[in-house]
Structure 1
Amino acid sequence: MGTRPHEVGTRSPAGRPGAVPGFAVVLNGVAAVAYATFFLEHLLSPDLDVINGYVSELSAVDQPYDALYSGGDFVTGLLIIIVAATCLLTLRRRPWATAGWTLLMLFGVCAIGDAVFPLDCAPSLESRCALLERSENVSFSHEFHSVTSSAVVMFGVASLFTLSIAAHRYGWWPFLARWGWVLAALESAAGFATLLAMLLGQWLGIIQRIQIGILCLGLLVIGWALYTDWRAARSDRRRPGAEPGTGHEREEATP
């Protein structure tokens, strides 16, 4: 009698969630880089107060290079939506993983929201803008931007936590299992620090930049997890006797 072969149509070997197409890995990396456009402020927007000024002020409508900063948010959001949707369609469906990719997709939606609803002006640079903001004489876009910005952080933290739980529970993505929850915890701590900074009126700019930097690292960690599975699946397909498209090696029947 021969040994029983693997079932046809199984998406990945036991212990792995499957692999996304290579383009999703690339798009995830581009999204992480695009979300870090604020690093260019020292060259392009040196007048903004890095210590106390909002990162969102870089993309205020009346600021130079606002299209660049808004464009970075928009590109990040669009690409992350594509990546998360691809993961939902191609990887194994497990509750925590499905929740994580869905939350990551919502992060992308809110990143686009940041780009679509920019601030009217930069309160830390212009006293007139600060007065307009305090008297609520700003546009809906200016007011709603705080909603999308808060939601970006919330969904970013939630997606990192849930994907880390999925990695631990299902034995997937060791790198994400090790570092995802750490970054999520740091992001949560930075969120509380942001609230404290808002009450004190100091250090808000620095803390916000740390927050966004952590989210960029989180996207890179997720991207590395996707890359390692893509590389493993590609290696499986190259082995002699591997079944095309499954990542499994076909077992030889023994007489």
Structure 2
Amino acid sequence: MRRLLAAAVLLSYNTWVLAPLLWAGGPLPGYLSELAADDQPWQWVFRGGDLLAGLLLAAVAALGRRGWRDLLGRWSTLLALALAAAGVGTVADALGNMPCSPSMDVTCQDTGLAAALHTLASGVVGTGFLGALVLLVLALREMGAPRPQVGGALVAAVGLGLLDVLTLVLAALSPGSQWWPQVGQVLLSSMVGAVLALRLDRGDDAGARLRA
């Protein structure tokens, strides 16, 4: 079951791989969110994928609150809250999609309350995933996990943080050019969700190994 859940998180969160086939424009858009804009004929594919991914992440978080306890100790609840925030933010992002695609329509204006909510939801998603990784590093260190596990979580946290910063820098200096950093964010974030899903029913065994 955990493998199916992990695979579902990965597949649903990475519908962007279909962009070359389903994007209505020529070159790929500057923002991943444009794939789900209202003026895109296949926007329901990308919105549906994000909506499902958000719900799955929330489910993993709900199960992980107890399912990670032996593996992560007192940090399991906080990590579950961080992952749940990322899931809820992803759902909100899918429901509050862009009205149009700036890459295809130069007159497109994504402003007002809807745009503010979209930006807020995206911020919650990024903060939730980064927070989950930081908490994972702290939990693994405290529980005496092997160095490769702690190091891998740390590298993932630093990598996601750098991608977040790069996306913000490109948005300010060269709007519409942050496709690849955003792809990196989504790919890494979905891998985090998938790994956490895989560890749901391993808590007892992992905890016993760490205490041995």
What TM-score bracket applies, with the shorter chain setting the length?
A: 0.7 to 0.9
1:90–1:198 CA distance, 2 compared to 1 (3 A) = closer
CA offset digits 1:159-212 (Å, max 9, x no partner): 011022212211358765332221111110011111210121153122211211
1:66 maps to 43
Matched, 1:32 2:10: yes
CA contact (8 A) 1:28 1:79 kept: no
1:110–1:40 CA distance, 2 compared to 1 (3 A) = same
1:49–1:154 CA distance, 2 compared to 1 (3 A) = farther
2:86 maps to 107
1:121 maps to 100
CA contact (8 A) 1:175 1:221 kept: no
Aligned AA for 1:125? Answer: M
CA contact (8 A) 2:5 2:194 kept: no
Q: C-alpha distance in 2, partners of 1:170/1:231?
A: 13
Q: C-alpha distance in 2, partners of 1:109/1:29?
A: 19
Give TM-score, length-normalised by structure 2: 0.84
1:169 maps to 142
Report the 3-state secondary structure (helix = DSSP H, G, I; strand = E; otherwise coil) of the residue aligned with 2:188.
helix
- Of Structure 1 and Structure 2, the greater helix share is in 2
Q: C-alpha distance in 2, partners of 1:84/1:173?
A: 24
2:181 maps to 207
Instruction: Point out where structure 2 has 5 or more consecutive residues left out of the alignment.
Output: none
Matches within 5 A, 1:87-98: 87-92=64-69, 94-98=73-77
Of the structure 1 ranges 177-186 and 87-96, higher mean CA displacement relative to structure 2 is found in 87-96
2:34 maps to 57
CA contact (8 A) 1:49 1:205 kept: no
> Offset of 1:46 from its aligned partner?
5.8
2:164 maps to 191
Say which one has the larger Rg. Answer: 1
Report the 3-state secondary structure (helix = DSSP H, G, I; strand = E; otherwise coil) of the residue aligned with 2:50.
helix
- Identical counterparts, % of pairs: 26
Of the structure 1 ranges 62-71 and 88-97, higher mean CA displacement relative to structure 2 is found in 88-97
Aligned length: 204
Q: C-alpha distance in 2, partners of 1:26/1:175?
A: 25
Matches within 5 A, 1:139-150: 140-150=113-123
RMSD value over aligned CA atoms?
2.5
Instruction: Point out where structure 1 has 5 or more consecutive residues left out of the alignment.
Output: 1-22, 234-246, 248-255
1:91–1:212 CA distance, 2 compared to 1 (3 A) = closer
Give TM-score, length-normalised by structure 1: 0.71
Q: C-alpha distance in 1, partners of 2:77/2:145?
A: 13
